Amino acid sequence: MRWTQTFLPTLKEVPSDAEIVSHQLLLRAGLVRKLTGGLYTFLPMGLRALKKVEAIIRQEMDRAGGIEVLMPALQPPDIWQQSGRYESARDVLFKVKDSAQREWVLGPTHEEVITTLAAAEINSYRQLPKCFYQVQLKFRDEIRPRFGLMRAKEFIMKDAYSFDATDEGAMVSYKKMYDAYTRIFARCGLKAFPVEADTGVIGGNYSHEFMVPAETGENDVVYCEVSGYAANIEKATSRGALTPTPDVSTGAAPEKFATPGVVTIEALTAAPHQVPAASQVKTLVYVADSKTILVLLRGDDQLNEAKLLARTGAIQARPATPDECFSALGARPGSLGAAQNVPSTVSVYADEQLRNARGMTTGANDDGFHLRHVDVDRDIRVSQWADFRTVAAGELAVVSGQPLKIRRAIEVGHVFKLGTKYSEKLNSTFLAENGLRHPTVMGCYGIGVTRTLQAVIEQGNDKDGIIWPISVAPFEVCLTPLNVTPGAPTLVLAEKLYAELTAAGIEVILDDRDDRPGVKFKDSELVGFPLRLGIGEKSLAKGQVELKPRGGALMAVPVEEAVARVIEWVKTERASLQTVSD
Ligand code: ATP
Ligand code: MG
């Protein structure tokens, strides 16, 4: 490929609306252009890199026994109604109407479509297991599309769906995908690691996310360096708060006391009351699927909303408004409590950290008053105990007892064991060997292909631009003759090397622009081609050309060795990203 014949518009300035480095570099290196928030056009270099990620994914899916298909993006809403996700996923569903005012859904994911296919086509245990996959556009009505391709309204996903006859079989399928994901990210040069994950709106009972550590990531991962435990904070557990709950119980009955103007946990810790946060019960009022519920936590703990949804089985939950609090409990936030005047219709969920907590202080459900001497087990009608709190750094891991750490990360992939949730709703059943009909046991597996591409850039860059792993770079070598006047020896040699390297299977872009060397060098660093082969008049006079690995030192090489040296360098780089089984 010749630079002048492709379309590679680099930018000197950092685009003002790109907040994170990978988003800036996507634009500056001419990989993509924004149409509007969350919608991007891939330019040739971006598209080449994207296709490389896709090719790696396809190879590994095929190796793992995946069968490629392609499903429609436009889907009838009735299958979404059948699965229950027309409601539960309504926040992200894009809906469109046709000329007859009939509604359609733009697929954010494809469990409904693939299960409909399996329902029609898979009827016997003899056809199982099967694992279908596709690389396809997804549409999601994200409230806050941002960071370029990281959170877009339209993005490319590789999604796979496995169908098995038994639970054990489904675990085997899951493990195959899990291993394939490990290989895919390694081959993309990404340091991605699996963490235990919440199953969210998709449902199911077992799940891992593949995370790329990055300060700009939107996930918090809790991990233990000693045992290797790692979980999304939405799911993570620990041995509990580091400070024990002070046991100051006198056995006395709850006593109401005036706390005018005190409406926060913190305010109650101050004079004159001086109640430590760990001795307070925090009462949160939530509306979960239109039901009002109370969630109790220790005063210094934070609610984990993903856990709330998981434990209550609610599809959606939001904090109640002050008016809703008042109508449920007769008081406003700041004076709420569960020890007195709680209607029997209101379920009370309590965090495990509060078990046996005695001598606690909580709101009295009377504005301007609190209650002290509250023993949770004695005085509060708890409907369900569970883990609702958010783990904090430094708490001890459940199994190893070692301190947990927390770091930010980008979710690039997600594997779920779904069980029979979708197969039952959409009637994917099969005749087992014993002649009985059973629902198929499913798994689903997604990789954000466009997000993965950007994660590669977020992980590999320096002040000059992108540092690609060779497996994903748009071209492996940038061949840079400094004088491109027709007939100039630098250009003549460049054309010769270009032909020889291309014939040897090396991906070369020939920078044939008539530009200053500084501009050409800067651009090749910015776009980040792994190796630059520079041909300047001065070194050529000495019979030499220059090899410059991106981010490495310049090497002068005799002209006659150039092709062999480039091939060797490229092959070594390629090999470093191959997995054992390649
Ligand atoms: P997130 O929590 O980031 O919204 P998700 O858990 O909803 O993602 P999944 O349904 O698990 O996403 O989709 C599989 C993969 O698709 C994710 O792991 C992620 O890499 C990618 N992905 C999801 N949403 C987007 C988006 N809006 N833009 C780009 N990629 C996305
Ligand atoms: Mg996910």
Does one domain contain both 48 and 186? yes
Residue 559: give the domain boundaries. Answer: 475-576
| Within-domain flag for 128 | yes
Question: What CATH number does the domain containing 376 carry?
Answer: 3.90.960.10
How close is the Cα of 112 to the center of ligand 2, in Å?
A: 17
How close is the Cα of 448 to the center of ligand 1, in Å?
A: 6
What are the b/e assignments for 470-501, b being 16+ CB within 10 Å? bbbbbbbbbbbbbbbeeebebbebbeebbebb
Does one domain contain both 187 and 41? yes
Average pLDDT, the chain: 95
Q: Among the three residues 368, 386, 404, which one is the final residue of a domain in this structure?
A: 386
pTM over 0.85: yes
Going by alpha carbons, the residue nearest to atom 16 of ligand 1 is 448
Question: What CATH number does the domain containing 79 carry?
Answer: 3.30.930.10
* Residue keyed to tokens 């969350």: 38
Q: How many helices (H) and strands (E) does the chain have?
A: 16, 31
Q: How confident is the model at residue 578 (pLDDT cuts 50, 70, 90)?
A: confident
524's tokens: 């090749």
How close is the Cα of 418 to the center of ligand 2, in Å?
A: 13
CA 486 to chain centre: 50
pLDDT at 202 over 80: no
Question: What CATH number does the domain containing 523 carry?
Answer: 3.40.50.800
Q: Among the three residues 430, 458, 486, which one is the final residue of a domain in this structure?
A: 458
User: For 383-430, how does the pLDDT look when each residue is reduced to its tens digit (9 = 90+)?
Assistant: 999 999 999 999 999 999 999 999 999 999 999 999 999 999 999 999
Does one domain contain both 43 and 148? yes
| Within-domain flag for 63 | yes
Range with the poorest average pLDDT among 193-207, 334-348, 394-408:
193-207
Find the residues whose C-beta lies inside 6 A of ligand 1.
109, 140, 142, 151-152, 155, 157, 411-414, 446, 448, 450-451
How close is the Cα of 411 to the center of ligand 2, in Å?
A: 7
| Within-domain flag for 222 | no
What are the b/e assignments for 23-47, b being 16+ CB within 10 Å? bbbbbbbbbbebeeebebebbebbe
Give the residue-averaged pLDDT of 167-187: 97
Give the residue-averaged pLDDT of 557-566: 98
How far apart, in whole angstroms, are the C-alpha atoms of residue 562 and residue 544?
9
**Domains identified in the chain, total number:** 3
Which ligand 1 atom minimizes the distance to the CA of 108? Answer: 10
How close is the Cα of 448 to the center of ligand 2, in Å?
A: 9
Q: Among the three residues 403, 426, 458, which one is the final residue of a domain in this structure?
A: 458
pLDDT at 249 over 90: no
Does one domain contain both 269 and 343? yes
Does one domain contain both 183 and 95? yes
| Within-domain flag for 408 | no
Q: What percent of the chain has pLDDT over 70?
A: 98
Does one domain contain both 30 and 110? yes
User: For 29-61, how does the pLDDT look when each residue is reduced to its tens digit (9 = 90+)?
Assistant: 999 999 999 999 999 999 999 999 999 999 999
Does one domain contain both 425 and 361? no
Q: How confident is the model at residue 581 (pLDDT cuts 50, 70, 90)?
A: low
| Within-domain flag for 219 | no
Does one domain contain both 497 and 451? no
| Within-domain flag for 490 | yes
* Residue keyed to tokens 């709703």: 425
Does one domain contain both 51 and 158? yes
Does one domain contain both 285 and 379? yes
User: For position 580, what pLDDT does the model report?
Assistant: 56
User: For 283-296, how does the pLDDT look when each residue is reduced to its tens digit (9 = 90+)?
Assistant: 999 999 999 999 99
| Within-domain flag for 554 | yes
| Within-domain flag for 228 | no
Does one domain contain both 452 and 358? no
Does one domain contain both 451 and 566? no
Going by alpha carbons, the residue nearest to atom 19 of ligand 1 is 448
pLDDT at 204 over 60: no
